[in-house]
Amino acid sequence: MRQALQEAEQAAAAGEVPVGAVVMRTETGEIIVRAQNRMRRDGDATAHAEVLALREAARIAGDARLGEFTLVVTLEPCAMCAGAIVLARIGALAFGAWDEKAGMCGSVGDIVRHARLNHRPAVQGGVLESENRALLQQFFAERR
């Protein structure tokens, strides 16, 4: 999570909402991808850290199915990202701050554990929650 938090800090420095993600091999902990929000820089509403990380992990793995990997992200994924996580069949998801406005991994809804979907990753929320939340709160306080 600390590596994802570093990515989030870099995103904030670039004027992006500070969300960072890493994809690691579940068995070894080796990080294969680092990503951060790039929506403003890329002019792309889908350029969330999670989506960018999953795309690059699939390219590196040579397979769109990522069951041997864990996605670590600083903020609870939104509906788009939660859907991408399910479609990528990621093995596990760990996230930092809960998102009471748009989180779809237990807050507003729970796409990643929906009983009717064909894949449900292991999920752990609230990892380094206070640090991740503080970065987001500081970012938005500076803009208001």
Q: Binding residue per annotation — 78?
A: yes
Catalytic residue, chosen from 50, 56, 100, 142, is 50
Q: Binding residue per annotation — 81?
A: yes
Q: Binding residue per annotation — 119?
A: no
The C-alpha atoms of residue 51 and residue 38 are separated, in whole angstroms, by 10
**Containing H/E element for 12?**
helix 2-13
Sorted by sequence, the CB contacts under 8 Å of residue 133 that are 6+ apart come out as 96, 97
Sorted by sequence, the CB contacts under 8 Å of residue 83 that are 6+ apart come out as 111
Q: Is 50 a catalytic residue?
A: yes
Residues annotated as binding site for Zn(2+)? Answer: 48, 78, 81
Residues designated as active site: 50
Residues annotated as binding site? Answer: 48, 78, 81
